[in-house]
Chains A and B, each alone.
Chain A
C-alpha cells in the first residue's frame, strides 16, 4: 500500500460524478414534460446516464494513465480517486442499472414508475459515489446524507401503503440517529487529531501512537471513544447487529423494487465507508476497532442466521440473511492487523471486498427473482409464492437454485469463494475459533436457503401459471444467475481486481 500520491490539478477523476449530477438534473427537468404513459423516455435517459458514467469511469481508470497503483487527491484532499474507488463505482453502476431493468415492469404495473424514482435513484447513486471517493470526513458525511435522504424517500414511494410509510419513518428516525452518532464520533476524532482530512488523521494518529505513553493515555481514550461512534455509524449502514433494527422492516415494507436498490449498491458504499474510515484513517487503532468488529460479526451471524429461519416472508428472510452476510464480511475486515503486523491486511481487506461484490451480485439476483415472480396486483413475498417454481419454469428455478446455494456458500458458486476468502483471512490472522463459529452458524443459515430450494423443487405449485417478465429482464436475470455460477468456476479475475484495489489504497 504505497501508491504514488499526486495532488491533481486536473479535475478529470471526478468526471463521472459531474456527468451523473448533470444527467440527474436533465432527467428531473425532462421528466416534467413526459406524460405517464411515455415514462419509457425517462427510463432511457437514466440508463444512458449510467452508461455514460460507466464510460467516464472506464476512461478515468484506463484512459489517462499507466497501469500502476495510483491515488489522486482533488480539492485539497476532499475527493480521492484510486483503484478501489473506480472498481466500486463500476459495480455500483452495474447494480443500479440492473436494478432499473428489473424494476421497470414492476413499478409500471403499480403506477410507481414515475420520474421521482429515477431521479432519486440517480441522486442516491451520486451519494454512493461521493462516499466511495471520500477523502475527508465532510465529504463522506455529505455523501452519506445524500444517499440516505434519497433512500428514505424511495421507501415511501408508494405513499398510500401504510407499511411502506411506516418503514420509511422507521428508517428515517433510526438513520438520523446513526448519522448523529457518526458525526459525533467524527467530531471526537477531529478533536483528538485536529483534522478532518482522512490522510491527515491517519498521519496524526500514527504520530500520536509512535509517541511514548500513548497506550492508555487520555488522547488514546478520547480517540477510542470517538471510534466507538464511528464504528456504530458504519455498523448501521451495513446493518449489523445491534444496529440492524431498521433492516427487516425496511426490506419488508418497501416496494420490492426499492428493496432491491437498498439491498445492493448502498452496501458498496457502506463497505467503502468502512475502508475509508477504518483502514485509510484509523488503521493504527486497528487493535481497538477489530475487537468491536468481532462482537458485531458474531452477533450478526448468529442473530441473522437464526432469526431468518423463523421468517415466512421472503423479503424479511433475505433481510436477516443480509445481516448474517454483512457479519460474515466483517470477518475479513477484522483480520487485517495481527498484533501490530499488517502483512495480512491486503489479503483480508480484499477478501472483504470480494465478499461485498459477490454479495451485491447475489442480492441483485435474489430480489430480482422476487420482482420477476410478482405480477400486476400479485406480490411474490411469502415462501408459499415460490412453491413449485420448477414446474412453472425449470430455467428460472435453476437460476434461483444457483443464487440460493451461492448465498448458502456451497461450491461451485461465487458465494463459496467469498466465504473461502474471508475464512482464509480469519484463519491466517490466527482467529481459528472465529472461523469455526462462523462456519457453524452458516450451517444454520444453509437451512433457510435450502428451504427455498425445497419449495421450488419438491413442492407442487399452488397454481400453474407460466412466468412472465419482459425480455430484457429475463435475459439479464439469466445472466445474473450465470454470473454467480461463472464466478464460482473462475473467480480469479475478480479476486485479482479486488487485490489490486486494496493494494492501491
Chain B
C-alpha cells in the first residue's frame, strides 16, 4: 500500500519521541508536568496502534502494514516493518502495558522522574520495533537496544541488590544475543546477501547447518524467555526491579524471546526444529513442573511470581514445539494472557509493597480486612494465574494441553500438572497474604486502593475476563498466520 499511513513507524517512534520530550523537561522540579507528558505519550502510543487491529485483515497470512525503505545499502539492510497475525497483538499489548506502567509509577517514583518515564517510553517503542521488524539487523538492533533502558531501570530505581541484578540481566542476555548476531550474519552470507527475514524463511539449508543455527538462536531466545536452565537472571531482576520494571519485564520482555522462536527458529529452521523438538519439549516441561515446584517454596512474593512466569512461559515454548495449530495458537494466547496476568500480579505486589515496603509473605496476613477491594481484584488475578476457567489463563493452557494431547498423552499429562502446581503456589500465597487474622499493626493500618491503582488493576481485570470469556477476537487474528506457519514448518527444506 504505497502512501498508506505508517502506523507501525508511529507505534515505534511516538513513544520514543515522547520519551525524549519527557527527558528534555529537565529536573525533578517539573515532576507533575513530566508525569502528565509521559501519560500523554503512552496514550498516544496506544492510540496509534489501534488502527493496526481495526485495519488488520485476519484472512490474510501475509505481512500487513508493510514499510520498506533502504537503510544501510552497503549491507543491504532495510528499514522493513510489517506485522502478521502472530505479531500484531503484541504491539497492542506492549503499548497497553506502557499505559499501566505510567500509572504504576505515578506517585511512587519521586526521584529522577523524567529519566524514569523516558526509559519506559523508549523501551516501549523499541519493543514495538522488535515485534514488527522484518529485517534481521533491524530486529537485532531493537532486540539489543531494549537492554539499555531496562538496565537503567533496574539499576537506578531498583532494590538494594539492584547493581548485581542489573549487570546479571544485561550480561546474560548479551551473551545469548551475540550468538544470534553470528547466526544472523551466517544467514546473510548463505542467502547471498539478504537480511530479509522472509527471504530466510525460504532459504534451503542442510540439516547440520540448521542444527547449529538452531542452537545459536536457542541460546538468545531461551535466555530471554527464559527457559530452564538459563533462567536464573529473571528472579534476581524481578526482585530488584521497581514495580513498573517487573511489569514490563514479565508482560513484554519475556515475550521477545518466545516471539523469536516463532519468527526465526520455526520457519527458518523447520527441519532442525522438528529434529530437536524433543529437547525443547523436555526443557519446557522442566520449566512447567520443576520451576512450578520451586515457586511453591518461595517466601518473597515477587520471586514467587517470577518463578511462576518461567513456569507459564514453559507452556508457551511447549505449545510452539508440538507443531499443531492448537499448540501454537495456545502458546500465543498464553503469551498475551500472561502479559495481562503477570502484569496484574506484579502490580498487586507493588500496591502492597508501596504501603508496607516488604515483599515477604510472612510479613502479611489478613490484608482482606483492611483492603477488601484490593483483595477482590487480586483474587481474580490469582485465579487467572492458576488457570481457572473463565479467565484468560485458562484459555491458553487448555489449548496447549489439548494440542499436547494430540502429540503424546504423557506430555499432556506432565503439562496438565501445572493446574495443580499453579493453583498450589498462587492460591497458597494468596491465602497466606490476604486471609487469616490481621498479622500485625502495619497490616491493620493499610488503606485500600486509590483511584489510580483501581484504574490500572481494573483495566487489567477487564482484559483478563474478556479474554477468558470470549477469546475469539484474539485467536481469530492468528488463525491464518499460524496455519501458514505450520504448513511451512511441515515442509522439509534441506
Q: What is A's interface to B at a CB cutoff of 8 Å?
A: 390, 394, 401, 405, 410-412, 416-417, 420-421, 423-424, 427-428, 432, 435-436, 439-440, 442-443, 446-447, 450-451, 453-454, 457-458, 490-492, 495-496, 499
**Are A424's CB and B145's CB within 8 A?**
no
With A439-B182, A454-B155 as contacts: A405 and B74 at CB distance below 8 Å: no
**Are B178's CB and A439's CB within 8 A?**
yes
Given contacts A410-B148, A428-B185, 10 further A-B contacts (CB under 8 A): A390-B156, A411-B141, A411-B144, A427-B189, A435-B182, A435-B185, A439-B182, A458-B162, A491-B72, A495-B75
**Are A446's CB and B182's CB within 8 A?**
no
Q: Considering only CB atoms, which chain B residue lies closest to A394 in the complex?
A: B115
Q: What 7 A-B pairs are tightest by C-beta distance, nearest first?
A: A439-B178, A411-B141, A495-B74, A427-B185, A458-B155, A443-B175, A492-B72
B166-194 residues at the A interface, CB under 8 angstroms: 166-167, 170-171, 174-175, 178-179, 181-182, 185-186, 188-189
Q: Considering only CB atoms, which chain B residue lies closest to A423 in the complex?
A: B185
B99-126 residues at the A interface, CB under 8 angstroms: 112, 115
Min CB distance B164 to A, Å, is: 10
A-B contact pairs, 5 of them (CB 8 A): A421-B75, A427-B186, A450-B171, A458-B163, A495-B75
B132-174 residues at the A interface, CB under 8 angstroms: 137, 140-142, 144-145, 147-148, 151-152, 155-156, 162-163, 166-167, 170-171, 174
Bound CA–CA A458/B142 (angstroms): 24
Min CB distance B240 to A, Å, is: 11
Report which of A412, A423, A454, A491 forms a contact with B181, defined as CB distance below 8 A: A423
With A405-B148, A447-B167, A496-B74 as contacts: A457 and B186 at CB distance below 8 Å: no
Bound CA–CA A53/B326 (angstroms): 69
- State whether the Cβ of B441 lies closer than 8 Å to any Cβ in chain A: no
Report which of A390, A411, A439, A499 forms a contact with B74, defined as CB distance below 8 A: A499
Q: Chain B residues near A454 (CB, 8 Å)?
A: 155, 163, 166-167
**Are A432's CB and B167's CB within 8 A?**
no
Bound CA–CA A458/B179 (angstroms): 29
Q: Considering only CB atoms, which chain B residue lies closest to A426 in the complex?
A: B185
Bound CA–CA A453/B148 (angstroms): 10
Q: Considering only CB atoms, which chain A residue lies closest to B126 in the complex?
A: A412
Min CB distance A354 to B, Å, is: 9
- State whether the Cβ of B71 lies closer than 8 Å to any Cβ in chain A: yes
Min CB distance A452 to B, Å, is: 12
Bound CA–CA A412/B77 (angstroms): 14
Interface band, chain B: 35 or more
Min CB distance A489 to B, Å, is: 9
**Are B147's CB and A410's CB within 8 A?**
yes
Q: Chain B residues near A439 (CB, 8 Å)?
A: 178-179, 181-182
Bound CA–CA A480/B140 (angstroms): 25
Q: Chain A residues near B74 (CB, 8 Å)?
A: 492, 495-496, 499
Q: Chain B residues near A436 (CB, 8 Å)?
A: 179, 182
Bound CA–CA A405/B185 (angstroms): 21
Bound CA–CA A417/B145 (angstroms): 13
Contact with A along B181-217 (1 / 0, CB 8 A): 1100110110000000000000000000000000000
Bound CA–CA A421/B145 (angstroms): 18
Q: Considering only CB atoms, which chain A residue lies closest to B140 in the complex?
A: A411
With A424-B185, A446-B174, A458-B162 as contacts: A496 and B167 at CB distance below 8 Å: no
Most buried by B among A394, A428, A435, A443: A443
Q: Considering only CB atoms, which chain A residue lies closest to B158 in the complex?
A: A458
Bound CA–CA A386/B181 (angstroms): 31
Q: Considering only CB atoms, which chain A residue lies closest to B193 in the complex?
A: A428
Q: Chain A residues near B142 (CB, 8 Å)?
A: 411
Bound CA–CA A74/B175 (angstroms): 50
Q: Considering only CB atoms, which chain A residue lies closest to B137 in the complex?
A: A420
Q: Chain A residues near B71 (CB, 8 Å)?
A: 490, 492
Q: Chain A residues near B181 (CB, 8 Å)?
A: 420, 423, 439
Bound CA–CA A443/B177 (angstroms): 10
With A427-B182, A446-B170 as contacts: A416 and B156 at CB distance below 8 Å: no
Bound CA–CA A189/B89 (angstroms): 65
Report which of A390, A443, A451, A458 forms a contact with B178, defined as CB distance below 8 A: A443
Min CB distance A397 to B, Å, is: 10
**Are B144's CB and A410's CB within 8 A?**
yes
Q: Chain A residues near B179 (CB, 8 Å)?
A: 436, 439
Q: Chain A residues near B137 (CB, 8 Å)?
A: 420
Q: Chain B residues near A491 (CB, 8 Å)?
A: 72
Q: Chain B residues near A410 (CB, 8 Å)?
A: 144-145, 147-148, 174
Min CB distance A240 to B, Å, is: 21
With A411-B144, A421-B75, A440-B178 as contacts: A450 and B186 at CB distance below 8 Å: no
Bound CA–CA A410/B170 (angstroms): 11
Q: Chain B residues near A401 (CB, 8 Å)?
A: 148
Q: Chain A residues near B178 (CB, 8 Å)?
A: 439-440, 442-443
Q: Chain B residues near A496 (CB, 8 Å)?
A: 73-74
Q: Chain B residues near A499 (CB, 8 Å)?
A: 74
Bound CA–CA A436/B156 (angstroms): 32
Q: Considering only CB atoms, which chain A residue lies closest to B156 in the complex?
A: A457
Q: Considering only CB atoms, which chain A residue lies closest to B170 in the complex?
A: A450
Min CB distance B185 to A, Å, is: 4
Q: Chain A residues near B147 (CB, 8 Å)?
A: 410
Bound CA–CA A469/B233 (angstroms): 41
**Are A440's CB and B175's CB within 8 A?**
yes
Q: Considering only CB atoms, which chain B residue lies closest to A398 in the complex?
A: B23
**Are A458's CB and B182's CB within 8 A?**
no
Min CB distance A25 to B, Å, is: 41
Min CB distance B20 to A, Å, is: 11
Q: Considering only CB atoms, which chain A residue lies closest to B152 in the complex?
A: A457
Bound CA–CA A136/B466 (angstroms): 77
Bound CA–CA A427/B212 (angstroms): 14
Q: Chain A residues near B75 (CB, 8 Å)?
A: 420-421, 424, 495
Q: Considering only CB atoms, which chain A residue lies closest to B27 in the complex?
A: A394
**Are B185's CB and A443's CB within 8 A?**
no
Report which of B162, B171, B189 forms a contact with A428, defined as CB distance below 8 A: B189
Q: Chain B residues near A450 (CB, 8 Å)?
A: 151, 167, 170-171
**Are B144's CB and A416's CB within 8 A?**
yes
Q: Chain A residues near B182 (CB, 8 Å)?
A: 423, 427, 432, 435-436, 439
**Are B145's CB and A446's CB within 8 A?**
no
With A427-B185, A439-B182, A450-B170 as contacts: A416 and B73 at CB distance below 8 Å: no
Q: Considering only CB atoms, which chain A residue lies closest to B212 in the complex?
A: A432
Bound CA–CA A436/B176 (angstroms): 11
Most buried by A among B71, B145, B185: B185
Bound CA–CA A446/B181 (angstroms): 15
Min CB distance A409 to B, Å, is: 9
**Are A453's CB and B144's CB within 8 A?**
no
Q: Chain B residues near A495 (CB, 8 Å)?
A: 72, 74-75
Q: Chain B residues near A458 (CB, 8 Å)?
A: 155-156, 162-163, 166
Q: Chain A residues near B140 (CB, 8 Å)?
A: 411
Min CB distance A491 to B, Å, is: 6
Q: Considering only CB atoms, which chain B residue lies closest to A409 in the complex?
A: B178
**Are A447's CB and B155's CB within 8 A?**
no
Bound CA–CA A491/B189 (angstroms): 20
Q: Considering only CB atoms, which chain A residue lies closest to B114 in the complex?
A: A394
Q: Considering only CB atoms, which chain B residue lies closest to A397 in the complex?
A: B115
Min CB distance B135 to A, Å, is: 13
B51-82 residues at the A interface, CB under 8 angstroms: 71-75
Report which of A427, A447, A492 forms a contact with B73, defined as CB distance below 8 A: A492
Most buried by B among A411, A416, A440, A450: A411
Q: Considering only CB atoms, which chain B residue lies closest to A453 in the complex?
A: B151
Q: Chain B residues near A417 (CB, 8 Å)?
A: 72
Min CB distance B134 to A, Å, is: 17
**Are B171's CB and A412's CB within 8 A?**
no
Bound CA–CA A458/B159 (angstroms): 11
Min CB distance B200 to A, Å, is: 15
Q: Chain B residues near A453 (CB, 8 Å)?
A: 151-152, 155
Most buried by A among B74, B166, B171: B74
Report which of A424, A447, A490 forms a contact with B188, defined as CB distance below 8 A: A424
Bound CA–CA A458/B148 (angstroms): 14
